[in-house]
Amino acid sequence: MSMLEVKDLHTSFFTDAGEVKAVNGISFQLDEGKVLGIVGESGSGKSVTAYSIMQILAGAGKIVSGSIKFRDQELVGAGEKVMKTIRGNKISIIFQDPMTSLNPTYTIGKQLMEAILLHTDRNKEQARERAIEMLRLVNVNEPEKRMKQYPYEFSGGMRQRVMIAMALACEPDILIADEPTTALDVTIQAQILELMKSLQKELGMAIIMITHDLGVVAQMCDEVIVMYAGSICEQGTADEIFYHPCHEYTKGLLRSIPAVDDNGERLQPITGTPIDLLNMPKGCAFAPRCDAAMRICLREKCERMQINDDHAAACWMNVAKQQTEKDRKGGEA
């Protein structure tokens, strides 16, 4: 059974320049204990999706319509009181920048204990013990000593460990990781990804992994959602997305990164510039940059189409392909 169900979610930012439809009708499910990757470039709406689930959108942002169900409990319009029991407790989030997500004026221990005291009925002494236990879990050496230190005494990788410890302190069912390793070095990134994987196995939680790095996705995720301009282009198991991409944008992305067995040949970039969310094209959002765009792509947005049990995409190319196959079969018959 799916534990998180997002249905036709629309989130917009109301700015002076007009309504920016950051998330434009997306639906997906997250199953128990799975790692779901959301990939996309800046402005694709991947982070806004996460913030919508947590309902921590900035002032101008608003969920316009749609539904987010956590274990059959509707979260859209549920109110702050309900969300407080969800946030940090059932669904936790860690952010990209571990440098700015900790308060520099409090000790690490105090910040960890705050999260625990707020969400559980442990007393101060128990919270302290739990905090030390969590630091030990994320492989921080000498946790007792580290509790008394301030964030500036921690390196970037250590701070991200603290953030993970904080997010997991209340044993959430879902951990949302918003670009958790983007600000970190490669060897530290490997440490953190390894840690997240082992914790996920140990604690059995589900992870939503938001990233722009296809390498991180390949390494971490069971399922992948590819987003472009606030919509889902393609969705499927990691193997399906990487080995049988069915949306021109996904294909372009995979072509444009240097391969593992790179032989120095020219890369094949996606042409054009990223989309302006204030001036969205009428048809498929990717059509202006798409080499395979047809007339219908400019006119009409393609609906999501099931390719097989593990794979869906919203690209007219698939519709066209299916049509030719049907015609051919019709001709044979």
For the chain, helix (H) and strand (E) counts, in that order, are 12, 12
Could you give the C-alpha distances from 328 to 87, 296, 322, 325, 331, in angstroms and in order?
Answer: 53, 22, 10, 5, 5
**Closest separation between CB of residue 263 and other proteins, Å?**
9
Taking the C-alpha atoms of residue 202 and residue 33, their distance in angstroms, rounded to an integer, is 10
* Stretch of 2-10, 59-67, 256-264, 295-303 contacting other proteins, by CB under 8 A: 256-264
Instruction: Assess 158 for contact with other proteins (CB under 8 A).
Output: yes
Quickly count: other Cβ atoms within 10 Å of residue 31's Cβ: 13
Instruction: Assess 199 for contact with other proteins (CB under 8 A).
Output: no
- Interactions with other proteins, residue window 20-59 (CB under 8 A): 41-42
Instruction: Assess 269 for contact with other proteins (CB under 8 A).
Output: yes
**For the chain, the helix, strand and coil percentages under 3-state DSSP, each to the nearest 5:** 40, 25, 35
Q: Which helix (H) or strand (E) holds 106?
A: none
- Interactions with other proteins, residue window 208-247 (CB under 8 A): 212-219, 238-239, 242-243
Taking the C-alpha atoms of residue 91 and residue 83, their distance in angstroms, rounded to an integer, is 10
Q: 108-119 and 124-137 helices cross at what angle (nearest 10)?
A: 120
Instruction: Assess 201 for contact with other proteins (CB under 8 A).
Output: no
* Stretch of 46-54, 128-136, 152-160, 323-331 contacting other proteins, by CB under 8 A: 152-160
* Stretch of 9-17, 50-58, 91-99, 150-158 contacting other proteins, by CB under 8 A: 150-158
Instruction: Assess 157 for contact with other proteins (CB under 8 A).
Output: yes
Q: 156-168 and 186-203 helices cross at what angle (nearest 10)?
A: 20
Instruction: Assess 258 for contact with other proteins (CB under 8 A).
Output: yes
Please choose, from the candidates 245, 252, 253, the residue with its C-alpha nearest in 3D space to the C-alpha of residue 39: 253
Instruction: Assess 187 for contact with other proteins (CB under 8 A).
Output: yes
**Closest separation between CB of residue 317 and other proteins, Å?**
18
- For residue 135, how far is the Cα from the chain centroid? 25
**Closest separation between CB of residue 178 and other proteins, Å?**
16
**Closest separation between CB of residue 141 and other proteins, Å?**
9
* Stretch of 80-88, 109-117, 186-194, 317-325 contacting other proteins, by CB under 8 A: 186-194
Instruction: Assess 153 for contact with other proteins (CB under 8 A).
Output: no
**Secondary structure of residue 133 in the 3-state scheme:** helix
Q: Which helix (H) or strand (E) holds 176?
A: strand 174-178
Tokens of 242: 């990487």
Beta carbon nearer to other proteins, 117 or 188: 188
Instruction: Assess 262 for contact with other proteins (CB under 8 A).
Output: yes
Kindly determine how many residues on this chain lie close enough to bind other proteins according to the rule CB under 8 A.
46
Tokens of 137: 């879990």
Beta carbon nearer to other proteins, 42 or 324: 42
Beta carbon nearer to other proteins, 66 or 156: 156
**Closest separation between CB of residue 259 and other proteins, Å?**
8
Burial zone of 76 (CB within 10 Å; 0-12 exposed, 13-18 middle, 19+ buried): middle
Beta carbon nearer to other proteins, 194 or 327: 194
Q: What angle do CA 181, 225, 228 make, to 5 degrees?
A: 90
Please name the residue that has the structure tokens 């990939």: 39
Instruction: Assess 252 for contact with other proteins (CB under 8 A).
Output: yes
Write out the residues near other proteins by the rule CB under 8 A: 41-42, 155-158, 185-191, 193-194, 212-219, 238-239, 242-243, 252-254, 256-260, 262, 264, 266-271, 273-274, 289
